[in-house]
A = this chain, B = another copy of it.
Amino acid sequence: MPQSSEHAVGRVQARPPLSVTPPTLADVAERAGVSRQTVSNAINNPDLLRPDTLTRVQESIDALGYSPNRAARNLRTRASHLIGMRIGPAQEGTANATMDRFVHSLVETSREAGYHVLLFAGAGSSTNPLAGYDDLLRSTAVDAFVVTDTYLGNPQATWLEERRAPFVAFGRPWDNPQARHSWVDVDGAAGTELATQHLLDKGHHRIAWIGWRKDSRISEDRRSGWTRAMHARGLPTTGLASRVEDTVASGREASAHLLDSAQPSAFVCASDTLAMGVLHTLRDRGLRAGEHVAVVGFDDSQVAQVVPPGLTSVRQPLEQVAVEVVTALEGLLAHPPVVGTGVMLVPTLAVRGSS
């Protein structure tokens, strides 16, 4: 066995390669001349140890490069320190990136709370969307879930609630006002109201709305912010609204129709995707966004940030959402559990060249 201990001095430790088996609690205990339990305490309840014992144990831990085996700890404590989150297939052809941005924030935030994020696939259209949750739950693979798609009369929340599975929703329980679970959401209506006020302040009077189909509660909510702002200034909204699917092509068509029928000088959209449709129409007609017609989107996607001349957009505070979600999660997993009510956050407006 080659001796290279002369190099092992100093702050950088020469950790042994893990090729064989990692050190266990017993190894640390033996090296430190204490019992296994003491080592366990050194890690989980350091204040129970005498200072000198603690340092001695700590030294052995460092020297051996010991880290508690997750599986063993999980088995014993009946917790995995993993948060499950379902992720659907990438949405291409749209500007939707909220979920991706949220995942980033969630990963960062949950790390600080000692959790990791486990991603699982959102099952194809054929499969039962609950299957993934069920599997992870029954096998105790995750401690809790973050549920993100609360928009449709989605069964997840109700189902998880029935199974008493700990979860926090990003999105309020639209269909079920007496839901008792924790949730965090962003006030979309406040966002569109902000956007509309911004346009009104810029001197616009005829401001059109393009949202999603009427069965979308989210879109109807965002729409209400637009009407609220318009009515507050005594301006009419009739003939200025359109409801279409969330695609660029739909936004393009809807804006063309609205320009012909109602001559708006500005558009507020339920998504950046729809707003990009408006930009297409403006280009088709040789109009310049921000000069001839103002446009505001929703989500502050990368698209909004880089498209010329910059798309003004409502920005959801996803970092804050993640923080609130993790806080709620910690409550749920505490002993005894604390079921927080809902948390509503306020979006901001990222103003760019299009308005």
Is A111 interfacial (CB 8 A cutoff)?
yes
Q: A279 near B: Cβ within 8 Å?
A: yes
Contact call B276/A306, Cβ cutoff below 8 A: yes
Whether B100 contacts A97 by the Cβ 8 Å rule is yes
In A260-314, which residues have CB < 8 Å from any B CB? Answer: 273, 276, 279-280, 283, 301-303, 305-309
Nearest neighbor of A281 in chain B, beta-carbon distance = B308
Identify the stretch in A118-126, A174-182, A200-208, A236-244 within 8 Å (CB) of chain B at 4 or more residues: A118-126
* A15, B119: Cα distance in complex, Å: 24
The docked-state distance in angstroms from the alpha carbon of A108 to that of B119 is 10
1/0 per position for A62-88, CB-CB distance to B under 8 A?
A: 000111111110110010101000011
A88 to B118 alpha-carbon distance, docked (Å) = 16
Copies of the polypeptide in the assembly: 2
B22-A308 in contact (CB<8A) = no
Tell me whether A5 is interfacial, beta carbon within 8 Å. Answer: no
- A309 contacts across to B, CB distance below 8 A: 280, 283
Q: Which residue of B lies closest to A16 (CB)?
A: B163
Bound complex: CA A134 to CA B67 (Å): 10
Q: Which residue of B lies closest to A108 (CB)?
A: B121
Residues of chain A whose beta carbon lies under 8 Å from any beta carbon of chain B: 15, 17-19, 22, 65-72, 74-75, 78, 80, 82, 87-97, 100-101, 103-105, 107-108, 111, 116-121, 134-135, 137-141, 162-165, 248, 273, 276, 279-280, 283, 301-303, 305-309
